[in-house]
Structure 1
Amino acid sequence: MGQSFINAVLEKDQNRLAPVAVIRLCGPFSRDVYPAVDWPEDLRNIVCKYCGFVDGGLEIDGEPIGDIKESQIAAECRIIEDLQIRCIVVNVANLGFIERENAAILNACILPFARSTISSSERAVARLYLRCPLFITQNDGTILPARLAAKVPIRTFSSGPNNSMCAAAFLAKKLNELDKESLLVVDIVGTSTDVAMLLPSRLPRQAAAVTLCYRGFWRWNFACPDVKRCFFFATI
């Protein structure tokens, strides 16, 4: 399921990506560096429809840059309302200014599509009279309840490669001669091919830092397997 979310971003599908507004609490700083500055320009134009800069925010050491002025935030909210933008960025990641902002924007732009997709899956489970909870694989290989995944779908973006590695680990148990070796797992899907390494422990090798590449790059900082991604483009 998470693969469909990342595919919407990779394909730059305006039908599945919602426009996003960003309010950055930064005082006089970073006003020349707009959100999604390291994204491909066409994707940035689809997603980032407005950015407002207001007083407040923190220095890198945690000290306040200045006081938050509610009147400024209220004014920005009125502008966003007039633009009819419904997706507002909320922090969903960890350390790193650009990484946090990128993750928040990606999460916000995919929220409507993710909620619709997960709701459809829950209805399908109900129609089958299955009395069990629905879980979705997270980026780090653990599972996330569907209702929580609908709030933070970005945590499931790497669920496709993770699920492939779980299947590879299961199959490797049947092959005794590969029991002590690392394995390369190749996951071939519609828009990309993902390659990752399964360690002798049958756990995926983790990435020290995560970078998604697509004719440019954007960074986030979730725990993920070390996946190398190749993309395919058709020219007509």
Structure 2
Amino acid sequence: MAITTNIPEAFPYRIGVDVGGTNTDAVIVDTTVRDRTKSIIAAQKSPTTQPSVTDGIEAAVRSVLQRSGIDRQRVASLPIGSTHFINAIAVIRLSKSFTREVPPFSDFPSELTDIMRGHCTQIDGGLQIDGSLEAPVVESQVLRECARIKGLGLKAVVVSGVFSPLDHHYHQEQTVRVMIERELPDVTIVYSSEISNIGFLERENASILNASIHHFAKRTIREFKTAMKRLGLQCSLYLTQNDGTLLDAVTAARLPIRALSSGTTNSIRGGAYLCGLYDGNASPTSIVCDIGGTTTDVNYGMSQVESIGIGGGSIIRSREGQVTVGRDSVGYEIRKRALVFGGDTMTATDVAVAQGVEAPIGDAALVRSIDRDTISEAQQFIKREYERVCDLMKSAPEPLPLILVGGGSIICPQKLDGISRIICPPHHDVANAVGAAMARISATVDIVQNISSQTISEAMLKAASMAIEKVAGSTNRNLGVSINVDEYRPIIVSDEQSGTKTWIVSPTDLEWMADGCYVLGCGGGGSPYPEMLKLQQHIPAGNELKIVDMSSLRKDASIYCRTSSPHCGEYF
């Protein structure tokens, strides 16, 4: 399935913003320029402001607008990756019989539970696995809990029903929400089916996090909109989601959990864009390493993300002859505290500059006093940590390319064991903002359909139409969908001598097989997506992937089978 949207050339510019713990990045991308590097017409890296990140965002966006000199009326969108805080909430479960043995917050860290758990209860309601009714909602029970929540002074409530994403008839969560709104008009209410799909604890936990950051997100987005007016921008405001797509500001204020930790996907998309991955100019099996001021995030195909406490602002200490890097950092105060900027704290950036890295950072004369042994040991420490975390991401021992992005990328060694080459594209320091600018719209539909009265193709088309309707409703643009399940046929050729039929696998075949393996495998062994990418890169290189029936093989044929489960530790 492919969703397409035509962006008018009258609005060719996209502004992307990424808010990190140390810096706030902003870029302007001209979507009419084909050269990825030249399409970034302005970029700015500014210190993240505390406690209000909005000031830093406004300063960064104002800078790129002034430097580019573009017509502000021709900006199509402004996507932002933002931050969050948490508050205490109440949780109301809807189920008469199930889930009592595992109460809310069961798998939360105790520190978070102590802060966030305001009140938890379970009342009648819920559905069965087929969408039928387990028990009806009892209004008197809802009103009783409303009185308790009011007495506790809580301002956010989560309503979580068993199998609620399948509730297209009874609308239990929405019914309870209406009752609570009537009794507690000043309380924020989150119902779980709006947050996530089937998977009760995961959906409930996501809803809890959403409710806890809702107040801060709503205030922050309101401040963003005010800043846009001061900047003279009339375009749409979006937040980037943690799946690499966009969320409109109104929805983001209601569902901020979807924008939680979106920096990782921004770095993947930005790195891929700047390296020409979308154009087939780089290996799709590259690892992306995003080095900020406080941490380093390493990811590969979004199947797994690993973070380590090493960044450009990481503090370096020498104790009893042993040099350590991090895990604490000077963070957004790097321009005040780092030696290279005239401060009194040795950081990873200081060591990189002292080593002679070619980057216009501070005053190199201020770090000449760092002794060679300290520099060498600090770099060896960083090298070991990066090699270790990159090795964790790999599903095979063969070396892989590493795409390096982020403002702290100067601290990465030029060579790493297990890495075939290090790619540092132009504008790598603002890649996250580029990823935000080039993010795409999306929609998710989670339904159970009966195929006894319709074909699989019809069921898929129905789901696709529902997703298109969701997207079109949020963007006010005409979208088209092309899904050729009925018309598509794989390429089958026959050997003239033996008559053996061979399936010549196409990129579309690989995508569909990966989806099928993931569904039929029930998630066992991790996502097949990275392996699908590995196979896909052979086709543009002129190679053929073939599938034959085992019965057509000679009796003396040798069969090789390789199995691995690099992510089996993620599952129970």
Q: CA deviation at 1:206?
A: 4.1
Q: For 1:143 and 1:96, how far apart are their aligned partners in 2?
A: 23
Aligned partner of 2:131: which letter? G
Q: For 2:209 and 2:82, how far apart are their aligned partners in 1?
A: 9
Aligned partner of 2:140: which letter? S
User: 2:240–2:262: 8 Å Cα contact kept in structure 1?
Assistant: yes
Q: For 1:32 and 1:2, how far apart are their aligned partners in 2?
A: 40
Q: Secondary structure at the match of 1:134?
A: strand
Deviations 1:66-102 (A, max 9, x none): 2221101110011001111110112111010101101
Q: For 1:66 and 1:185, how far apart are their aligned partners in 2?
A: 48
User: What residue number does 2:307 align with?
Assistant: 229
TM-score of the two chains, using structure 2 as the length reference? 0.33
User: 2:20–2:292: 8 Å Cα contact kept in structure 1?
Assistant: no
User: What residue number does 2:270 align with?
Assistant: 167
User: 1:3–1:157: 8 Å Cα contact kept in structure 2?
Assistant: no
Residue 55 of structure 1 pairs with residue 124 of structure 2: yes
Q: CA deviation at 1:58?
A: 1.9
Bigger CA drift: 158-167 or 99-108?
158-167
Q: For 2:236 and 2:120, how far apart are their aligned partners in 1?
A: 38
CA 1:47–1:126: 2 relative to 1, 3 Å:
same
Deviations 1:142-172 (A, max 9, x none): 1111121111111111321122122211321
Q: Secondary structure at the match of 1:131?
A: coil
| 2:253 counterpart (139, 144, 150) | 150
Aligned partner of 2:256: which letter? P
Bigger CA drift: 75-84 or 138-147?
138-147
Aligned partner of 2:307: which letter? R
Aligned partner of 1:22: which letter? V
User: What residue number does 1:201 align with?
Assistant: none
Residue 98 of structure 1 pairs with residue 201 of structure 2: yes
Q: For 1:53 and 1:39, how far apart are their aligned partners in 2?
A: 18
User: 1:2–1:159: 8 Å Cα contact kept in structure 2?
Assistant: no
Q: For 1:55 and 1:146, how far apart are their aligned partners in 2?
A: 34
Aligned partner of 2:200: which letter? F
Q: For 2:108 and 2:82, how far apart are their aligned partners in 1?
A: 14
Residue 35 of structure 1 pairs with residue 113 of structure 2: no
In the alignment, structure 2 segments of 5+ residues that lack a partner are 1-17, 22-80, 159-190, 311-326, 330-572
CA 1:34–1:228: 2 relative to 1, 3 Å:
same
User: 1:2–1:158: 8 Å Cα contact kept in structure 2?
Assistant: no
| 2:228 counterpart (125, 144, 149) | 125
The size of the alignment, in residue pairs, is: 202
User: What residue number does 2:134 align with?
Assistant: 65
Q: For 1:7 and 1:53, how far apart are their aligned partners in 2?
A: 31
| 1:194 counterpart (297, 304, 313) | 297
Aligned partner of 1:83: which letter? L
Greater RCO between the two (CA within 8 Å, min separation 6)? 1
Q: Secondary structure at the match of 1:59?
A: coil
Q: For 1:6 and 1:54, how far apart are their aligned partners in 2?
A: 35
Q: For 2:255 and 2:229, how far apart are their aligned partners in 1?
A: 23
CA 1:18–1:2: 2 relative to 1, 3 Å:
farther
Q: For 1:107 and 1:94, how far apart are their aligned partners in 2?
A: 15
Residue 138 of structure 1 pairs with residue 238 of structure 2: no
TM-score of the two chains, using structure 1 as the length reference? 0.75
Deviations 1:18-56 (A, max 9, x none): 211011112143223211211101101111211111112
After superposition, the CA RMSD in angstroms is 2.8
Q: Secondary structure at the match of 1:43?
A: helix
Aligned partner of 2:305: which letter? V
User: 2:82–2:239: 8 Å Cα contact kept in structure 1?
Assistant: no
Q: CA deviation at 1:178?
A: 6.2
Q: Secondary structure at the match of 2:218?
A: helix
User: What residue number does 1:17 align with?
Assistant: 86
CA 1:3–1:57: 2 relative to 1, 3 Å:
farther
In the alignment, structure 1 segments of 5+ residues that lack a partner are 9-15, 198-204, 208-225
Q: For 1:117 and 1:35, how far apart are their aligned partners in 2?
A: 28
CA 1:77–1:6: 2 relative to 1, 3 Å:
farther
Q: For 1:117 and 1:101, how far apart are their aligned partners in 2?
A: 24
CA 1:77–1:231: 2 relative to 1, 3 Å:
farther
Deviations 1:178-219 (A, max 9, x none): 62352211223466432112xxxxxxx243xxxxxxxxxxxx
Q: For 2:294 and 2:113, how far apart are their aligned partners in 1?
A: 20
User: What residue number does 2:314 align with?
Assistant: none
> Within 5 A, what are the aligned runs for 1:174-213?
179-189=282-292, 192-197=295-300, 205-207=301-303
Bigger CA drift: 115-124 or 73-82?
115-124
Aligned partner of 2:233: which letter? L
Q: CA deviation at 1:131?
A: 1.8
Q: For 1:148 and 1:160, how far apart are their aligned partners in 2?
A: 19
